[in-house]
């Protein structure tokens, strides 16, 4: 796929190119071989960022959308390799974590039925609760009632709510009513893979990953007592852009 990306990049002739690798590459057994092969074939220098740096970049990207978070909030970025949870208020990051509990890892770890069974949902809830215990506790301490959701799973959820095709609608911020989230949650956990493929707004690359993702979101809402959800398209990529706009932050 990097050949397609390279064609797009070359079309616009940018002065600077920054390539960031995250969780999947961080923990890969063949990381060095992969980076060398990618570098040799693309000419790009790939920067592998730590989980903490990934969370920091996500926070900076989200701030480009919000300017400041008026109420204490937890930012949740659900990835394939890792999940980042960031507790923030106004323009300050109060706490952050990155756990290797991304949805691609989860579906490889748990052999989920089609559709997912109640006991499997309970197993996933226990897994996520254990992995993100410290994040949940920090949210309670800071009286967090707002969830800011960014990246793929949240994009798909809001596309399904709005009944638009993936990528059709760009959103800086969009509030998600809890009732709408619960409606999508129930629809997804009751569905088969084939049924999800036919759903309006479903991104085909997320057809399997979306089920454990909404189980995590639902757990976070219930455990912390979330009252408001806000989705944003802004996340890691925009955080990298922020650092490129503000030299001296470690990536240049």
Q: Produce one character per residue of 69-102: b if its CB has 16 or more CB atoms within 10 Å, e if not.
A: beebbbbbbbbbbbbbbbbbbeeebbbbbbbebb
Q: Look at residue 148 and tell me whether its pLDDT is greater than 80.
A: yes
Question: What is the average pLDDT value for the chain, to the nearest integer?
Answer: 92
pLDDT digits (tens, 9 = 90+) for 20-45: 888 888 888 899 998 998 888 888 88
Q: Look at residue 103 and tell me whether its pLDDT is greater than 50.
A: yes
Q: Confidence band (pLDDT; 50, 70, 90) for 248?
A: low
Give residue for tokens 């992995």: 131
pLDDT digits (tens, 9 = 90+) for 155-182: 999 999 999 999 889 999 999 999 999 9
How crowded is residue 53: how many other Cβ atoms within 10 Å of its Cβ? 19
Number of helices (H), then strands (E), belonging to the chain: the values are: 12, 8
Q: Look at residue 252 and tell me whether its pLDDT is greater than 50.
A: no
* Residues in CB range of 12: below 8 A, 6 or more apart: none
Q: Confidence band (pLDDT; 50, 70, 90) for 3?
A: confident
pLDDT of residue 40: 86
* Residues in CB range of 92: below 8 A, 6 or more apart: none
63 vs 6, 20, 53, 88, 234, CA distance in Å? 28, 19, 15, 10, 8
pTM score of the predicted model: 0.90
Q: Confidence band (pLDDT; 50, 70, 90) for 249?
A: low
Q: Look at residue 250 and tell me whether its pLDDT is greater than 70.
A: no
Rounded to whole angstroms, how far apart are CA atoms 211 and 117?
A: 11
Q: Confidence band (pLDDT; 50, 70, 90) for 135?
A: very high
Structure tokens belonging to residue 95: 């706490």
H or E segment and range at residue 120? helix 118-131
How crowded is residue 60: how many other Cβ atoms within 10 Å of its Cβ? 22
Residues 177/237, Cβ–Cβ less than 8 Å: no
Strand partners, 20: 47
Q: Confidence band (pLDDT; 50, 70, 90) for 73?
A: very high
pLDDT digits (tens, 9 = 90+) for 187-211: 999 999 999 999 999 999 899 999 9
Please classify residue 42 by burial: count the beta carbons closer than 10 Å to its beta carbon, then call 0-12 exposed, 13-18 middle and 19+ buried: middle
């Amino acid at each position: 796929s990097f050949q397609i990306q390279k064609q797009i990049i070359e079309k616009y002739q940018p002065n600077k190119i920054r390539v960031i690798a995250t969780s999947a590459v961080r923990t890969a057994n063949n990381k060095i071989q992969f980076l060398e092969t990618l570098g040799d074939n693309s000419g790009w220098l790939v920067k592998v960022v730590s989980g903490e740096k990934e969370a920091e970049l996500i926070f900076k990207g989200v701030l480009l959308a919000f300017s400041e978070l008026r109420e204490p909030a937890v930012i949740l970025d659900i990835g394939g390799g890792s999940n980042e949870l960031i507790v923030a208020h106004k323009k300050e990051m109060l706490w952050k974590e990155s756990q290797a509990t991304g949805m691609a890892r989860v579906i490889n770890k748990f052999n989920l039925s089609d559709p997912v069974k109640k006991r499997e949902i309970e197993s996933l809830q226990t897994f996520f609760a254990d992995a993100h215990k410290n994040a949940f506790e920090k949210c309670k301490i800071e009286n967090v009632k707002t969830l800011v959701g960014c990246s793929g799973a949240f994009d798909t959820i809001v596309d399904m709510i709005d009944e638009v095709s993936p990528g059709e609608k760009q959103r800086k911020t969009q509030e998600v009513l809890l009732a709408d989230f619960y409606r999508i949650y129930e629809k997804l956990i009751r569905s088969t893979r084939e049924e999800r493929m036919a759903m309006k707004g479903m991104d085909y690359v997320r057809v399997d990953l979306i089920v454990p993702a909404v189980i995590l979101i639902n757990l976070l809402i219930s455990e912390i007592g979330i009252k408001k959800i806000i989705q944003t398209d802004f996340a890691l990529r925009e955080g990298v852009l922020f650092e490129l706009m503000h030299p001296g932050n470690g990536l240049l």
